[in-house]
Chain A
Amino acid sequence: MPRLVSHPDEVKIVTKRFGMGAANIDKYIELGGYESLKKCIAEGPDWIINEMKASNLRGRGGAGFPTGLKWSFVPKQSAKPKYVLVNGDESEPATCKDHLIFLHDPHAVIEGTMIAGLAIGAKVGFIYLRGEYRYLLEIMEKAVADAYAKGVLGKNVLGSDFEFNVITQSGAGAYEVGEESALMESLEGKRGVPRIKPPFPAVVGLYGGPTVINNAETIATVPHVIAMGGAAYAAVGSERNGGTRLFGLSGHVERPGIYELPMGYNLKKMIYEVGGGVRGGRGLKAVVPGGSSTPVLLPEEIDIGMDFDQVGKAGSMLGSGGVVVIDDTTCMVEFALRTISFYQHESCGWCIPCREGTDWLKKSLTRFHAGFGTEKDIDNIAYLAQNMLGRTFCPLGDAAAMPTAAFVKKFRKEFEDHLNGKPCAFAKHMELAVV
């Protein structure tokens, strides 16, 4: 069972019911659950979207798109049914926050899905979990069944004339399926190859109908936004970045775990105070701030607020909120190799720059790390990565290229140290670092 952690600086909004047995529907209701849904049924779609806009809630899936704005793009009239699709594919390395939401508060996901449905005029919501999360899917399925039994889901939601149904779905192992259009393909029973945009899902989505796709944390936050009021939620965070985020501290940190902190919380403080610092009091070498696709930061670059805009200004991204702490015993070439191996493995192969680019990067880095690199390789790796950027069909290509480019740029010296067959100073398992 994943361990829950806690720190006095936390502001528990989304996590406030964690560890309280709220997977039980009676407990959830006792703790104020489904009250926001009632309020939304009474107030109606325009009011909901206004509250969501006022909240400054930005998508927790990675890109940080404003949620209220996304919902407002869905046309009011539509010949085809509209859908809500909850993205619980959670496969970006260093990301495990949705895991805890499904485990501790599945009804918050259902309630958020229903509120989104009410706002856009959908009658059906899909909750898609990655295939590895079987035990969490079972928790979600039980929660859905309980919600039907209680009259929360179904034809007359809580006695009103609002009808809403939830369908849970399991994936079967594929990172790329987390990309929103590939997710729809997968849900339609196909390979997870992304669709061309436009049209955007808000107009033509699942089964051709207008679809709102949100990350599971985004959706689980919605009932709290409604309960607090949009403006009050916004006030918790920083400018244009409303509320809190479930930050995941992992790697060489003394107290790893998921911590709910206000948007804009200082990264250095997060590592040294909330996380208890680098494990064993060692020196800090680098920090990956928002999941494996986000460019690495040097120790002198981490005195920044953790919100989408400030991390962006620092040359990286807030991404999925997965903060990886890397100490001075780590080989950054090996780290770069393990990172690119993942993207090479997960590239869907649809477009050439990504399929070939990730493959060549992995090959070059494998050879390089094994001590067979040449001076020219260093620039070639950077050049390859640079040439993938912006030239791929979906953002996975960028997700592979951006961190690679940053590793080479910021740790060039370590790459040079590997030259001339010099053994890697840190190497433990280079021949294994390939899946």
Chain B
Amino acid sequence: MSETMSIFSPALSARFDALVAKYPVKRSALIPMLLYAQDEIGYLSDAVIAEVAERIGITELDVRNVATYYSMLRFKPAGKYNIQVCTNISCMLRGAYEVYERFQDELHIGHKGVTPDGTFSLEEVECIGACCWAPAIQVNYAFHDELTPNDVPKILSEYKAKANGSVKNA
């Protein structure tokens, strides 16, 4: 696919060209492609679905059918920093709900809410594989572990500074 036609950056476009060639069948690239597209565009917009479908050679309906299965894929924008608080058993026992409530209080948003300025969104999520370092959260892909509610303001101000400064989306 020529770069001028793509909605993705030249770097991501090139990455996708390599990705579809790396498997025995093209379609194996579908799920990582959707995730990487979402990382760049923010969500799976109609344009993202259309271009991914074309690159793989399947219908848009087929892409949507697969995409709706996976919980990390979304069809609406999230905040620039998506805060995912694990409340599953190991985290729950060590105060995950208290951490989650503190995020709600600080951000004035609930599950899947986005702050009005678009900087943060909040999600209660299932186990993220950091149970021995509970309670744990992910901000986009970055892990923060062994948290207490009092760690919440500091985490938020760090990301706020990043959002305002020149630091790129982590």
Measuring CB to CB, which residues of chain A are less than 8 angstroms from any residue of chain B? 2-3, 81, 90-96, 98-99, 124, 130-135, 167, 169-175, 186-192, 207, 248-252, 256-258, 288, 292, 322, 324, 326, 330, 335, 338-339, 342, 345-346, 348, 428-429, 432-433, 435
Contact = CB atoms under 8 A, between A and B. Distances in A.
Main secondary structure of the interface of A (DSSP, over half): loop
A239 to B, nearest CB: 28
Interface string B139-151: 0011101100000
Contacts of B142: 135
Interface string B120-142: 00001111111111100010011
B72 to A, nearest CB: 3
18 contacts: A93-B127, A94-B127, A96-B129, A96-B132, A130-B129, A131-B35, A132-B141, A170-B35, A174-B70, A207-B24, A251-B134, A256-B132, A324-B89, A338-B87, A345-B126, A428-B97, A432-B87, A432-B124
Interface residues of B, number: 48
Contacts of A428: 97
B9 interface: no
A198 to B, nearest CB: 23
B126 A346 contact: yes
Contact of B90 (A250, A429, A433): A250
B94 interface: yes
Given A81-B24, A326-B93, A435 B132 contact: no
A258 B145 CA distance: 15
Nearest to A100: B132
A189 B70 contact: no
A170 B132 contact: no
Nearest to B104: A432
A189 B89 contact: no
A252 B130 CA distance: 15
Contacts of B66: 189-191
A338 B35 CA distance: 28
A87 B88 CA distance: 21
B28 interface: yes
Interface string B4-30: 000000000000000000111101111
A248 B131 contact: yes
A189 B29 contact: yes
Given A94-B131, A190-B66, A432 B89 contact: no
A324 B93 contact: yes
B70 A292 contact: no
B41 interface: no
B31 interface: yes
B133 A2 contact: yes
Given A93-B131, A432-B97, 10 more contacts: A91-B126, A93-B89, A135-B141, A172-B70, A173-B70, A207-B25, A250-B132, A256-B134, A324-B89, A433-B92
Contacts of A91: 126-127, 129
Contacts of A134: 141
B32 A169 contact: yes
Contacts of B31: 169-172, 186, 189
A258 B130 CA distance: 11
Nearest to B126: A342
A171 B70 contact: yes
A175 B88 CA distance: 13
A207 B97 CA distance: 43
B100 interface: yes
A40 B30 CA distance: 35
B89 A339 contact: yes
Nearest to A132: B128
A435 B130 contact: no
A183 to B, nearest CB: 12
B32 A170 contact: yes
Contacts of A251: 89-90, 93-94, 134
B5 to A, nearest CB: 22
B130 A99 contact: yes
B45 to A, nearest CB: 16
B71 interface: yes
A335 to B, nearest CB: 7
A98 B56 CA distance: 31
Contacts of A169: 28, 31-32
Interface string B22-62: 11110111111011000000000000000000001000000
B73 interface: yes
B127 A342 contact: yes
Contacts of A131: 35, 70, 72
Contacts of B56: 189
Contacts of B2: none
Contacts of B23: 167
B23 to A, nearest CB: 7
Q: Name the residue among A170, A172, A189, A339 with the largest chain B CB count within 10 angstroms.
A: A189
Contact of B131 (A96, A135, A173): A96
B166 interface: no
Q: Name the residue among A94, A99, A124, A132 with the largest chain B CB count within 10 angstroms.
A: A132
Interface in B64-94: 65-66, 69-73, 87-90, 92-94
A174 B71 CA distance: 6
Nearest to A172: B70
Contacts of B125: 435
A427 B35 CA distance: 38
A174 B127 CA distance: 11
A366 to B, nearest CB: 15
A191 B34 CA distance: 13
A428 B67 CA distance: 35
